[in-house]
Structure formats: structure tokens, C-alpha cells
Homo-oligomer: A and B are copies of this chain.
Amino acid sequence: MPVTQKDLMIKPKDALLKGHFACAGCGSALAFRHAIGSVADKAVLVVPASCASVYQGSGKGVAFNVPTINTAFAASDAVASGISRALKKKGKDDLKVIVWGGDGSAADIGIATEIGACDRQENILHVMYSNNVYGNTGGQRSGDTMIGARTATTPKGNTTPRKMVPFIMMANNARYVATASAAFLEDFVEKFQKALSFEGFKFIQIDISCPPNWRAESAHSIKISRLGVQTGIWPLFEWDRETNTAILSRPGKKYGDKANRKPISDWTSLQGRFRGITDEELIALEKDTERQWNFLRKFM
């Protein structure tokens, strides 16, 4: 059942308390607020090293209003597995064990742990919020950084293609895989709820804007995310093991057709991290984006 903006307002309690440590305009905090908020009476969070370990707060208290376990960078999905099994043993499997982490853990250092949990079909949901960069440590390239992005470790522009974790999870036989965008929160929360309705390992990657690391106006946070979808940079889809079929999601459907897309430069031009991007880089970025669509199309 589609989630409407109205449904977003119905939630058990605020999961993210006011006055948290996220930067102004943080898309990750926004996504957290709605998704975790929608299951805040049943959620158990596992958070690897990331901005989420910072924006939850420190010292005095935390802004996360649900049980939260902070883990080592590569440990989350295994910790979540242990929690899920322990809850099962205790007959508390109505609780939802959710990993909330960045692209660094999901795409890089923690991917073996994640694939392992997926392989075992652990009953957890991994939400990878991606700012395409190691945000917490100041913006170094991650496996999810796209071609052309200037990061602290690729000052002249990243040259390697984007690691598409959702595809890896599809190949790895996850129960459910979806992508989402902070600009389309209803769609995200719908997928989030749907994922939680399945037994097994579920994975959602949400594209969120990160004003400081993208060197963007915080006010453009949502606009950039929306353009990410509209330019085709970020395909919105769901894939289900049972059907082995990828379905484009309503807000992103028309961008499956290249003709409907806005030029990628609409998206890059709002972000300082793409300042100075060359034409060749832009072409390479477009090519890599097309590569992703081509992979996806195989499942459509």
C-alpha cells in the first residue's frame, strides 16, 4: 500500500530528538527521522562508525530515541545477526533489527560482514545511507564515490566506477533490495516498511545529500537528491528475490528512459565537489551511470 505524506505523520514516537549533531541540511538525519520514526517502538539500531555515530550525540545523551548499539566500522551486520538471533532465542522476534550506516561500512570495510549476514539470511534490514564519501572523517573517497567527484583523497577527481552495493546484494540473494532518495520520503518509508515485513536479509540504499562534503548549499539538500533521480544518476527501484525482477519506483519511473532525464550537469553544478569536472569526466560519469542502468535493465 503506497505511503502518503500523511502516513509519514503517523508514527509511534519521535526517533530522532531535536537538537542532534547532524550538520544543517543533512539528508541522513532527515531519512532517519522518518524511517526509524515509523517503527520507533520496535526498532533496535546497530550503527557502525559513520556520521550516524556522531549525529546521535555524545557526552550528555543521545538524540536516538531507540535502543542503539554503536559498533566497530566493519562489525554491524554481524552484531545485528547476534542481536537478531538472541531475540529469536528469547521469543522477541517482533523487534526489528536495523543497521543504519554509511556507504563506507556498507560498500567497503564492512561488505564482507554484510554479505555474510545476507548469505545466512539473517533477519535484519540494512539501510545504507550514502553520501558517496567517508563523511565523518572529512570526505575521502569511498567505494560509492562516483567518477569525477573531488574528494579529500581524489583531489583531481575520482576515476573509478561506482560500486553498486544494491546490485551486489541482488547477486548475493538478499530477500529484498531497494534504492531510495531523501527527496522521495514516502517512497523510502514505503520500501522501509515493506522490507521490514519480510523475513530474511533486506537491503536499502538511500541517496542523501551531504552539504559540507558535497560543498553544496544546505538549502539545496533535497533539490540535489531530487535531481539525482531526475538526471538518472540514481535509479530508484525495488528487487525481490521471489520474482528476481527489478521494478522502477513511481517517483523514478520515467527516468528509466534516457529521453526523460535532465542533463547530469544540472546535478553536478550544484555541488562544489564537481567543480572543475572536465568534459571527459562528465562523459565517463554518464557512461558509468548508463552501465548501472544497463545492469538494472537486465532485471526489468
| Residues of chain A at the chain B interface (Cβ within 8 Å) | 74, 108-113, 115-116, 119-121, 143, 160-161, 163-164, 167-168, 170-173, 244, 291, 294-295, 298-299
Contact = CB atoms under 8 A, between A and B. Distances in A.
So how many copies of this chain end up in the complex?
A: 2
Contacts of A299: 298
Contact of A163 (B111, B143, B160, B172): B172
A163 B173 contact: yes
Contact of A168 (B74, B143, B168): B168
A143 B164 contact: no
A168 B169 CA distance: 8
Nearest to A246: B298
B112 A168 contact: no
A228 B294 CA distance: 31
B116 A294 contact: no
12 contacts: A108-B112, A110-B112, A115-B163, A119-B143, A119-B160, A121-B160, A167-B171, A168-B168, A168-B171, A170-B171, A171-B295, A244-B295
A247 to B, nearest CB: 14
A294 B109 CA distance: 30
Contacts of A295: 171, 244
B171 A298 contact: no
A231 to B, nearest CB: 20
Given A167-B171, A168-B171, 20 more contacts: A108-B112, A109-B112, A111-B112, A111-B115, A112-B112, A112-B113, A115-B168, A120-B160, A121-B160, A121-B161, A161-B173, A164-B171, A164-B173, A168-B168, A170-B171, A171-B295, A173-B291, A244-B291, A244-B294, A244-B298
Contacts of A161: 119, 121, 173
A243 to B, nearest CB: 10
B160 A168 contact: no
A173 to B, nearest CB: 5
